[in-house]
Chain A
Amino acid sequence: MSNIAGHRSGAVWAVHLSVVFLVLLWSFPTVGLFVSSFRTADQIISSGWWSSLSTQESQRPPVRIAGDEFEEGGAFVIEGTLFELDEVKVSSWGTSSRRPTEFEPGATAELEDGASLSVQVDGSYRLSSPVTLEGQRLPRVFTTASSPPEFTTENYTNMLSSSGTAGGMGKAFLNTFTVTIPATIIPILFAAFAAYALAWMEFPGRLILIAAVVALLVVPLQLALIPLLKFHNAIGIGKGYMGVWLAHTGFGLPLAIYLLRNYMAGLPGDIIENARVDGATEFQIFTKIVLPLSFPALASFAIFQFLWTWNDLLVARVFLIDSSGQTTVMTNFVVELLGTRGGNWEILATAAFVSISVPLAVFFFMQKYLIRGLLAGSVK
């Protein structure tokens, strides 16, 4: 059956265009963050990120003239260029913030004390004065210039070096891995055995246990916060990695058991029956036959659990992060930046993008398993 709207090419175009529109709408915000993380702080506050993709005329941050003076024909001169980039074209300039577009490129501005300043289209300037400029406060130059797209990886190098403006992200990044990997592997172990028993063993009460798992799937973990924190304090593990691993294990188990049970129940029964007839023990059947065959379901759950533990903020804040500040995770790191550096978009955008880069990589490489898991995991 071909496209049901396929009889009219106009309708086909409408479909194509609306999908393009929706895709753009959905990716636009993320692209914005991505692009912003490659712009300097000045660029981010002076223009929208979308305008950074093409040559734009914009008012640039003021540059204070600096450099060594030399004598030329009885005048003291400083020469230099305002921009490090070659392709910037000045359209107007000025020396005060009240009249930043006073002069054309090439014009000469008369300053106090008989000094004069000229700025060319390419941003090169010449400041000359009858008296020495040594020790004087040199003027600032305001420019409006068109510049080609300009990106920097400075934000990333700043963030990743611990001495940078918002150091500590490297640590948070490692901590997040420390939380996620055990929290992904441990529930799989527990769940696989239970799922096998629920799928392939006969015993009274099996249906009730399956129903219990399905019921627990929807229990909000919010209810568990205080009771479990009390419990962790009582058994002496308090706040820390052990607590967060255990909590993630507990909260991940219903989905793990549910996904794995459904998958295992769909495996061909003959193989398991034959193995039983041949005298294999249940333990052997499980480890040698069922577990290897269940790999796709194990992978699906592992991806879910990894994404969920990596992206989690609540469980980490309650069970892991203490006042020492040594055990922060990426999500918490970003939330704290939002509080303390809410206006510093270059830092925020970079930190946020680093924090979502790992899940995005997992997403794009293992989408197949993720979708399979979603389809199997939504309660029918």
Chain B
Amino acid sequence: MSPAVQGLLTIAVAVTVCVGYFYSSNLLLDRVLFPAKGPNAGRNINVANAIRPWLFLFPAFAALALYLAYPVFESLRLSLFDRSQGNAFVGLDNYQRMIAEPKFREALGNNFLWLLIVPAASTAFGLLIAQLTDRLSWGSIAKSLIFMPMAISFVGASVIWKLVYEARPATVEQTGVLNALYVFFTDNNPLAWLTIPGWNSFLLMVVLIWIQTGFAMVILSAALRGIPEETVEAAIVDGANPFQIFFKIKVPQITSTIVVVWTTITITVLKVFDIVFAMTNGQWNTQVLANYMFDKLFRANDWGVGSAAAMVIMLLVTPILVWNVISVKRDYR
């Protein structure tokens, strides 16, 4: 059976089963188990209404529990066991082995750089572009073009930027933009940028900044529009210059949105895998945690250390997770 047909069948089966489940379980509840008639009609309606939410919730939350909640605990467990020793409990051995590896320390160090630079740069560029295009007649076209990389896969973006960083021998014409400019302005020999430690991590970050700026811009642009006009008008009347208006009036009013954008990009950074995988595969000092983990899990087949690395990523996400949960409790009460 061709996969496409299988796909269509799966959609049909999934839709039927899903709708069938909700429809028949409701019917069962209302007509058979707790019918809204007879001597206990009132009580039955109440019981049925107390059960119904769980019918609606069950499939989604079962999937969530299995596909996202359980793996957190299973990864934690795997990180404490060693497969090569017959699944023996080894305590923190995997973590110790991991920390002793130079490649892990390199990945951790790089990840901190990524965490510092990418969210900051994306948010700053996003804010700048949002402000500049705010009252521009052709602003929406400009924003649309800057937003476009959001639709491009990390892999596609890697190919796009590899062409930018392309290095050709010094004797022939450069086909990568970066080297063409570099040779033109400095008259030095072209460099293989992606193999130069220090520069290369930064150039990989540029790819993610390029993608994420559009996201930051869209959110911040909406936030800027939401600022009450009176505050800006009042500042103008008081003689504030455009920079003062931007930094002292507008930015303070959208701080919470800036934090949201920043944290969202932070999470994306922690998960970034494809860009490093496709462009350098962690060579030349560009390793990051997500790619290190993939290496351990699927190349070295070392589930213990791989899971330990996954737990490190989880640990780095946890503060944001806790903060989000707290703000839900505050907002929805």
Which residues from chain A sit less than 8 Å from chain B, CB to CB? Answer: 1-6, 11, 15-16, 18-19, 22-23, 26-30, 32-33, 36, 44-50, 58, 174-175, 177-179, 181-182, 185-186, 189-191, 193-194, 196-198, 201-203, 206-207, 209-228, 230-231, 241-242, 245-247, 249-251, 253-254, 257, 281-283, 286, 307, 310-314, 317-318, 327, 331, 334-335, 338, 345, 348-349, 352, 355-356, 359-360, 362-364, 367, 370-371, 374-375, 378-380
With A314-B274, A375-B218 already in contact, the answer to whether A355 and B52 are too (CB < 8 A) is: no
Closest Cβ of chain A: how far from B124's Cβ, in Å? 12
A44 to B4, CA, bound (A): 36
Asked if residues B153 and A19 are in contact (CB atoms below 8 Å), the reply is no
Residues of A within 8 A of B263 (CB): 379
Interface residue B170 (Cβ < 8 Å from any Cβ of A): no
A197 to B53, CA, bound (A): 5
Asked if residues A2 and B4 are in contact (CB atoms below 8 Å), the reply is no
Q: Which stretch, B90-98, B109-117, B314-322, touches the partner chain A? A: B314-322
Residues of B within 8 A of A29 (CB): 160-161, 163-164, 177, 210
Choice from B144, B155, B164 contacting A311 with Cβ under 8 Å: B155
Asked if residues A218 and B317 are in contact (CB atoms below 8 Å), the reply is yes
Choice from A178, A222, A360 contacting B4 with Cβ under 8 Å: A178
Closest B residue to A29 using CB positions: B160
Choice from B148, B260, B310 contacting A378 with Cβ under 8 Å: B260
Asked if residues A378 and B68 are in contact (CB atoms below 8 Å), the reply is no
Interface residue B303 (Cβ < 8 Å from any Cβ of A): yes
Choice from B56, B68, B236, B298 contacting A197 with Cβ under 8 Å: B56
Asked if residues A48 and B174 are in contact (CB atoms below 8 Å), the reply is yes
Asked if residues A335 and B277 are in contact (CB atoms below 8 Å), the reply is yes
Summarize A's interface: helix, strand, loop or mixed.
helix
Closest A residue to B10 using CB positions: A182
A221 to B267, CA, bound (A): 11
Chain B stretch 1-31: residues in CB contact (< 8 A) with chain A: 3-4, 6-7, 10-11, 14-15, 18-19, 22-23, 26, 30
Interface string of B38-63 (1 = CB under 8 A from A): 00000000000010111011011101
Interface residue B261 (Cβ < 8 Å from any Cβ of A): yes
Asked if residues A224 and B68 are in contact (CB atoms below 8 Å), the reply is yes
Closest 4 CB pairs between A and B?
A250-B67, A311-B153, A363-B151, A194-B60
Choice from B10, B129, B144, B267 contacting A367 with Cβ under 8 Å: B144
Interface residue B133 (Cβ < 8 Å from any Cβ of A): yes
Tell me the total A-B contact number using a CB cutoff of 8 A.
343
Interface string of B79-117 (1 = CB under 8 A from A): 000000000000000000000000000000000000000
With A48-B174, A193-B59, A253-B67 already in contact, the answer to whether A181 and B159 are too (CB < 8 A) is: no
Closest B residue to A342 using CB positions: B162
Asked if residues B78 and A359 are in contact (CB atoms below 8 Å), the reply is no
Residues of B within 8 A of A282 (CB): 26, 52, 56
Choice from B56, B78, B152, B175 contacting A48 with Cβ under 8 Å: B175
Summarize B's interface: helix, strand, loop or mixed.
helix
Interface residue B199 (Cβ < 8 Å from any Cβ of A): no
Asked if residues A214 and B14 are in contact (CB atoms below 8 Å), the reply is no
Q: How large is the interface on B (under 10, 10 to 19, 20 to 34, 35 or more residues)?
A: 35 or more
Interface string of B111-133 (1 = CB under 8 A from A): 00000000000000100110011
25 pairs of residues in contact across A and B, judged by CB atoms under 8 Å: A1-B229, A4-B135, A4-B232, A4-B245, A30-B149, A182-B11, A189-B18, A194-B61, A197-B52, A203-B54, A207-B332, A214-B325, A215-B321, A219-B69, A226-B297, A228-B71, A241-B6, A242-B10, A245-B10, A251-B67, A335-B155, A335-B277, A356-B153, A360-B151, A374-B215
Residues of B within 8 A of A190 (CB): 18, 59-60, 63
A355 to B214, CA, bound (A): 20
Interface residue B219 (Cβ < 8 Å from any Cβ of A): yes
Interface residue B196 (Cβ < 8 Å from any Cβ of A): no
With A19-B142, A32-B160, A352-B159 already in contact, the answer to whether A251 and B68 are too (CB < 8 A) is: yes
Asked if residues A226 and B307 are in contact (CB atoms below 8 Å), the reply is yes
Interface residue B300 (Cβ < 8 Å from any Cβ of A): no
Residues of B within 8 A of A375 (CB): 218-219, 222
Asked if residues B153 and A32 are in contact (CB atoms below 8 Å), the reply is no
Asked if residues B50 and A203 are in contact (CB atoms below 8 Å), the reply is yes
With A181-B11, A283-B26 already in contact, the answer to whether A222 and B310 are too (CB < 8 A) is: yes
With A23-B145, A48-B177, A210-B328 already in contact, the answer to whether A220 and B314 are too (CB < 8 A) is: yes
A226 to B307, CA, bound (A): 8
A254 to B233, CA, bound (A): 41
With A19-B142, A178-B4, A283-B23 already in contact, the answer to whether A211 and B329 are too (CB < 8 A) is: yes
Closest Cβ of chain A: how far from B79's Cβ, in Å? 10
Asked if residues A211 and B328 are in contact (CB atoms below 8 Å), the reply is yes
A221 to B272, CA, bound (A): 11
Choice from B72, B214, B218, B321 contacting A223 with Cβ under 8 Å: B72
Residues of A within 8 A of B59 (CB): 190, 193-194
From B30, B67, B153, B273, residue with most partner A Cβ within 10 Å: B67
